[in-house]
A and B are shown apart, each in its own frame.
Chain A
Amino acid sequence: MMAMPTPHPQMIEKLRRQANEIRRRNVRMIYEAGMGHIGGDLSATDILTTLYFDVLRVNPSDPNDPNRDRFIMSKGHCSGALYTTLAYAGFFPVEELDTYMQPLSRLNGHPDRTKVPGVETNTGPLGHGLPVAVGTAIGGTLDKAAWRVFVLTGDGELQEGSNWEAAMTAGHRGLDNLTLIIDRNRLQQGAATAATVRLDPLADKWRAFGWAVEEVEGHDYGALLDVFGRLPLEGGKPTCIIAHTHKGKGVSFMENQVGWHHRVPSEHELAQALAELETAL
């Protein structure tokens, strides 16, 4: 097998700085809105940043280009991370993030494709993204299209049976234009996934359903760029990337704390969070 080129250190540094900016804006946005899902936003930030600032072939000035790559945000409650990333990627003005969840804002708590450029399907109820992604990928194969489909799910979300219906279809049809990324932060709203309904052995489950699986550190831009650069992992199989992440990543007192699923920081906590993120920069 040919050795893959190491991702460029400058790209990694660019992603690191961009993700840090997105995190700071995201945390502030949730503080201002008084609502949001901060823990899951922060666990997904590095994945979203890597996708939108290097991997996805999307054009913010033509968000419905038929030949675009499709990114589907199945964990729709983490709209904070999605909106912030889309805004910094140029899909709509960053200033609009000030309206998050305010009356008549198009930035609803869960994304609405009919209003927000760059959103592919409306999610919020869990277990909806993967079936839609599978259908989109089937559509791409019918046209022998070059564009690809990416979908990000949470890990707790995999308790929804609809995912496994879609997993079977994708495996059966060998959809190698489809990449699922699982934000494996090991926490769901009420407790650890392992304490709620165990998901492990997670990689084996996907392999058994006919997927090519790789596990990566979900906050390591080099590792993410490397795996995204090798898609599909196997010809004739859909790809599942299990991205090991930390809920609340980047803010010490939020990290791996189940209580920060949708808690809103106080003024003092916001200041501390921003200070930590700025120091990390």
Chain B
Amino acid sequence: MSTLFDCRNAFSETLVALGEADERIVVVNNDSVGSSKTEAFRDRYPDRLINVGIAEQNLVGVGAGLANAGKIPFVCSASCFLTGRALEQIKADVAYSNANVKLVGVSSGMAYGPLGPTHHSIEDFAWTRAIANMTVVAPADPVETAQAVQAAANMTGPVFLRLSRMGVPALYDDNYRFAFGKASMLRDGSDVTLIANGVMVTRALEAAALLATQGIEARVLNMATVRPIDRDAVEAAARETGAIVTAEEHTTFGGLGSAIAEVVVQTVPVPMRILGVPGVFAPTGDPEWLLQHFGLTAEGIQDAAVEIKKPVLR
């Protein structure tokens, strides 16, 4: 069993380093200093951590205002509250206003497990990627998280970073170069492409290993950026492998799988399976149990790939 990392730590460390290099970096919280792991930033730059209290509409509006004052605000909150409660502020104050705000949705997906569907954030891809001028990113490991945070600070404009609190193994070393809108191929194959992001990437890689034992060579793409989607990588996957399975810790309505399907059906239509939470509120369970419950496992992805390839194998 490999070591598992909480990507919030990479986020926290990167934020402190960014804050050191650039005084414009500020953090905005909604009583979420602990859950977003911004204590280190607060301790280092107490004036530059603005806690607006339990008030998400104000949280995002204040973030937009700070950007207007020339700051680079990282607005950090549990993703369920940030995107659900303040969606209109995200649309009008941030995206439509083209405010230089970095929205950081922490503990996304079903990371809050038994706290229940109020605290699950399995709609955030759909909500945020539907908004014009948004960049939507879900990094898969600590190195990618650190680079995505850095890239968000470097680009001028709105970004939504979706961070989990579930442990993930390291997938990348320091040679990795994250870029918005670029998929990262973690394994090549010609029979099927598995596309995932966030906590599902490692499961897709495990699925590819299982498929290899069955003689199915799977390509694995980490599609960290959901908007703008890497159309070239999706089109190439469809053309070169002929089948696509997507896996996301999100509802199957409007998320990563939908974004990829939008490209596939308009370029190289090939069979697809979209794995995720199938349009239901999750039952009670810890995060790992919930992923298993919904088939969001290496075996679940493997089964979908085998099933989609059946006509070929027969």
Which residues of A have CB within 8 Å of B48? 142
- CB-contact partner of B63 in A123, A133, A135, under 8 A: A135
Residues of B within 8 A of A131 (CB): 57-58, 60-62, 64-65, 89, 93
Min distance, Cβ A157 to any Cβ of chain B, angstroms: 13
B292 at the A interface (CB under 8 A): no
- The reply to whether A128 and B65 contact each other, CB–CB distance below 8 Å, is no
CA distance A120 to B62 in the complex (A): 13
Given known contacts A70-B68, A142-B71, A168-B55, is B61 in contact with A135 (CB within 8 Å)? yes
Q: Is the CB of B93 within 8 A of A122?
A: yes
Cβ–Cβ < 8 Å partners of A165 in chain B: 52-53, 55, 57-58
Asked whether any CB of chain A lies closer than 8 Å to the CB of B184, the reply is no
- B52-100 residues with Cβ-Cβ distance < 8 A to A are 52-53, 55, 57-58, 60-71, 73, 88-89, 92-93, 96-99
A277 at the interface (CB under 8 A from B): no
- Whether A134 touches B69, Cβ cut-off 8 Å, given contacts A121-B97, A169-B53, is no
Distance in angstroms between the alpha carbons of A140 and B67 in the assembled complex: 11
Q: In this assembly, does A93 line the interface, its C-beta being within 8 Å of a C-beta of chain B?
A: no
Contact status B57-A114, CB under 8 Å = no
- Render A142-165 as a binary contact track against B, CB cut-off 8 A, 1 for contact: 110100000000000000011001
CB pair A169–B57 under 8 Å, yes or no, is no
Chain B's nearest CB lies how many Å from the CB of A75?
Answer: 14
The answer, yes or no, to whether B174 is at the interface (CB within 8 Å) is no
Q: Which partner residue on chain A sits nearest B64 by CB separation?
A: A132
- When distances are taken between beta carbons in the complex, the residues of chain B under 8 Å from A125 are 88, 92
Chain B residues with Cβ below 8 Å from A130 are: 61
B90 CB to closest chain A CB (Å) equals 11
A189 neighbours in B (Cβ, 8 Å): none
Chain A at the B interface: mostly helix, strand, loop or mixed? helix
Q: What residues of B have a CB within 8 angstroms of the CB of A143 in the complex? A: 69-70
B26 within 8 A of A: yes
CB of B103 closer than 8 Å to a CB of A: no
Q: CB < 8 Å: which of B26, B64, B89 contacts A142?
A: B26
Give the residue of B26, B64, B71, B73 whose beta carbon is less than 8 angstroms from that of A121.
Answer: B64
Which parts of A95-148 form the interface with B (CB within 8 Å)? 112-114, 120-125, 127-128, 130-140, 142-143, 145
Which residues of chain A are within 8 angstroms of B99 by Cβ–Cβ distance?
121
Alpha-carbon gap, A168 to B51, bound state (A): 12
Tell me, yes or no, whether B50 is within 8 Å of chain A by CB. Answer: yes
Q: A114-B97, A162-B58 are in contact. Are A120 and B53 (CB under 8 A)?
A: no
Answer whether A139 and B53 are a contact pair too, CB < 8 Å, given A114-B97, A123-B92: no
- A129 — nearest CB in chain B belongs to which residue? B61
**Docked complex Cα distance between A202 and B141 (Å):** 51
CA distance A112 to B95 in the complex (A): 11
Please give, as numbers and ranges, the residues of chain A lying within 8 Å of B173 by CB-CB distance: none
Q: Are B92 and A136 in contact (CB under 8 A)?
A: no
Q: Tell me whether A243 is interfacial, beta carbon within 8 Å.
A: no
Determine if A47 is an interface residue (Cβ-Cβ < 8 Å). Answer: no
In Å, the complex CA distance between A128 and B63 comes to 12
Determine whether A86 belongs to the interface, using a CB cutoff of 8 Å to chain B.
no
Residue of A nearest to B97 (CB): A122
* Given known A-B contacts A121-B68, A169-B55, A138 and B62 have beta carbons under 8 A apart: yes
- Whether, in the assembled complex, A190 has its beta carbon less than 8 Å from a beta carbon of chain B, the answer is no
CB distance from B306 to the nearest CB of A (A): 48
Min CB distance B26 to A, Å, is: 7
Residue in A113, A135, A166 whose CB lies within 8 Å of B69:
A135
Contact of A66 with B by CB under 8 A: yes
Chain A residue with the shortest CB-CB distance to B26: A142
A66–B67 alpha-carbon span in the complex (Å): 11
Provide the bound-state CA to CA distance between A133 and B67, in Å: 11
Chain B residues whose CB sits within 8 angstroms of the CB of A162 once the complex forms: 57-58, 61, 89
Residue of A nearest to B54 (CB): A165
Let me know if A138 and B65 touch, CB within 8 A: yes
Residues on B with C-beta less than 8 A from A137 are 65, 69
Contacts of B93 in A (CB 8 A): 121-122, 128, 131-132
> Please, which residues of chain B bring their CB within 8 A of the CB of A112?
96
User: How near does chain A come to B113, taking the closest CB pair, in angstroms?
Assistant: 29
Contacts of B71 in A (CB 8 A): 139, 142
Chain B residues in 8 Å Cβ range of A135: 28, 50, 61-69, 73
**Assembled-state Cα–Cα distance A140/B70 (Å):** 9
Nearest to B98 among chain A residues (CB) is: A114
- Which A residue sits closest to B55, measured CB to CB? A165
Q: Which of A70, A114, A166 contacts B61 (CB 8 A)?
A: A166
- Which of chain A's residues have a CB closer than 8 A to the CB of B57? 127, 131, 161-162, 165
Q: Which residues of A contact B62 (CB under 8 A)?
A: 131-132, 134-135, 138, 166, 169
List 16 additional A-B contacts (Cβ < 8 Å) besides A132-B68, A161-B57. A113-B98, A114-B97, A114-B98, A120-B68, A121-B68, A121-B99, A124-B92, A127-B57, A128-B61, A128-B93, A131-B60, A135-B28, A139-B69, A142-B69, A165-B53, A165-B55
Residue numbers of B with Cβ under 8 A of A are 26, 28, 47-48, 50, 52-53, 55, 57-58, 60-71, 73, 88-89, 92-93, 96-99
Interchain residue pairs with CB less than 8 A apart (9):
A70-B68, A122-B93, A122-B96, A132-B93, A135-B65, A135-B73, A143-B69, A165-B52, A169-B55
